[in-house]
Chains A and B, each alone.
Chain A
């Protein structure tokens, strides 16, 4: 707690002059009149006792559930040992798998609960109002795009699109009604989303994939139906899948766009129906406003963004059951590594990262590029100041291989300093391993989006996706960034 709980009085506090509600206009007057009609209700000791009782009861329930879970694990372990002793190794292993969850559809949530299943829907045409939020390449020419469509009452509804033709044609396969979109629209979307939000998608195969925001849902029928999954932590920050290795990044104690942790890292098998774990957890020393995870060549890298721009949290590598901090090299001049990304096409793990952001002109920032060939244990400097990006918010780095990199700026736009007035230099391409960068050339008739790109990633081969999130379509290249196209699923 930083603030005294009573540093303000009810309903007429916390204001600086010049607030919109202080203006003498019809709207401010309307709400002021309505506020004046609010009547205080009694706050009795009995009501307080009810609140305390309910809080303690929920706390006991959580503790009891934790105890029951531990007991269940112990019983399963004893039962497994018993079976092993009775039947020998070969047969016992198969039975053990059945106990732990052979049914691929079962999730940790009670599937009989109506709220944990979103029933199969019939594919429809892509709505004209569709705006892309997230893209995932599922392999076999199948691409999924999660975004928003207008729905009743000016609300936005998340909707999942599927393309079986590598993005040439699309159908809408699932609309999510009843999700919380209060923090998912506009040009300044926090990465920590509230419970019931769905804003991102990742697919392991053309049939199996996930949508997540605060919650995590799985489909095993190509997006027709979804089942809510239980997982460590209350809020999902990120999911990443590579070669059937999936990792979940989640946290407890999240609210209003930030998390206090603990933050959990959990490996899981997309072919199985449950997520157990976690494999490791960490309590960050600062509030977290975003978290990303990458997995490549069986190495998992976790990056947390501190909510306070003055603080920084170093990226971490998952080593078995613990998280090891990745220290920045001297070339970073004391700044932490950021935007750590693996090259997706390399047989040996190669990591690239940015660091040492420096003001470059009124609305640009330059970065040092570093590279590691030993999973982040040591780093070598590639270039200093060669990458200059528009100051538009978060910075993303994507690497296809040791030569081809793409960097972008955008995302939650709480940048320090003067933001860039337009999207120029928000998407930069390197074909010499980060020694030099050039601005991406927009397709004919297109302009770079004015607010930059919220998410950029390499999908293997020469494919890189860059998602502005504020537009109908997303940007895609199949030749490492030489030629870009804007994929608009509505057409």
Chain B
């Protein structure tokens, strides 16, 4: 193994130790399937190894990569899947679905909340509010200015507040 490759693997291993478990848990909360969440996180780390030299902020990069895969998954599965997952919450997959992001007060899942927003707000909301990335980190990951991210979050917050109000 080339020494450069070894150095990259060693650096990414540190990131893995710090973030992999949390990333799987975070993704599980969004898609309600631990095995699939594990695959998403694994894929994000495989890509991180490949792109290591161009990555400035590994944690923000990993959550962005995972969030994009989660959105793809939502798109593919559609809303029927969400309904089905709620339906089976009390049966064999209860372990996974119990952690599927349902707010006990509102019974609104993170997915429901995020998907109620226009497409352009979804990634920034996921990254800022749910992955807890700062506005600057979200701006860096999405290639937009901080002003735009703040504006998008402001608009998204107004819409979400209404949605939460209705749900309660």
Contact = CB atoms under 8 A, between A and B. Distances in A.
A55 B45 CA distance: 9
B82 interface: no
Contacts of A33: 103-105
Contacts of A10: 18-19, 22, 59
Interface centre among A2, A16, A37 (most CB of B within 10 A): A37
A260 to B, nearest CB: 4
B66 interface: no
B130 A31 contact: yes
B56 interface: yes
Interface in B66-114: 68, 71, 75, 99, 101, 103-106, 108, 110, 113
Interface residues of A, number: 67
Interface stretch (A114-122, A152-160, A330-338): A152-160
B116 to A, nearest CB: 9
B26 A6 contact: no
A182 B142 contact: yes
A40 B134 contact: no
Given A25-B161, A43-B16, A185-B119, A38 B134 contact: no
A15 interface: yes
Contacts of B118: 154-155
B26 A11 contact: yes
Interface string B1-32: 00000000101111111111110111011000
A394 interface: no
Given A55-B50, A155-B119, A190 B144 contact: yes
A26 B150 contact: no
A19 B57 contact: no
Contacts of B133: 14
A81 interface: no
Given A8-B59, A187-B148, A51 B161 contact: no
Interface stretch (A67-75, A92-100, A250-258): A250-258
A47 interface: yes
A156 B117 CA distance: 12
A256 B61 contact: yes
Contact of A255 (B24, B51, B120, B144): B51
A194 to B, nearest CB: 8
Contact of B145 (A19, A258, A413): A413
Main secondary structure of the interface of B (DSSP, over half): helix
Contact of A39 (B99, B110, B153): B99
Contacts of A180: 68
Contact of A156 (B53, B103, B120, B129): B120
A13 B161 CA distance: 25
Contact of A183 (B22, B143, B147): B143
A320 interface: no
A181 B118 CA distance: 11
Contact of A6 (B15, B34, B55, B132): B15
Interface in A5-46: 5-6, 8-16, 19-21, 25-28, 30-31, 33-35, 37-43
A281 to B, nearest CB: 16
B46 A51 contact: yes
Interface string B32-54: 00100110001001100111111
Given A21-B132, A41-B28, A47-B42, A52 B142 contact: no
Contacts of B117: 154
Contacts of B25: 38-41
A11 B46 contact: no
A154 B56 contact: no
Interface string B129-168: 1111111110011111101101011100100110011000
A3 B137 CA distance: 13
Contacts of A181: 119-120
A47 B118 CA distance: 36
A279 interface: no
B37 to A, nearest CB: 8
A182 B137 contact: no
Interface string A282-321: 0000000100000000000000000000000000000000
B144 A257 contact: yes
Interface of B: 9, 11-22, 24-26, 28-29, 34, 37-38, 42, 45-46, 49-61, 64, 68, 71, 75, 99, 101, 103-106, 108, 110, 113, 115, 117-120, 122-123, 128-137, 140-145, 147-148, 150, 152-154, 157, 160-161, 164-165
Interface of A: 1-3, 5-6, 8-16, 19-21, 25-28, 30-31, 33-35, 37-43, 47-48, 50-52, 54-55, 58-59, 153-156, 178, 180-183, 185-188, 190, 192, 194, 253, 255-258, 260, 289, 413-414
6 contacts: A10-B22, A10-B59, A34-B101, A51-B49, A182-B142, A188-B148
Given A59-B50, A186-B152, 15 more contacts: A1-B11, A3-B57, A5-B15, A6-B14, A10-B59, A11-B131, A13-B59, A14-B133, A14-B137, A39-B25, A39-B28, A43-B17, A47-B42, A183-B143, A188-B145
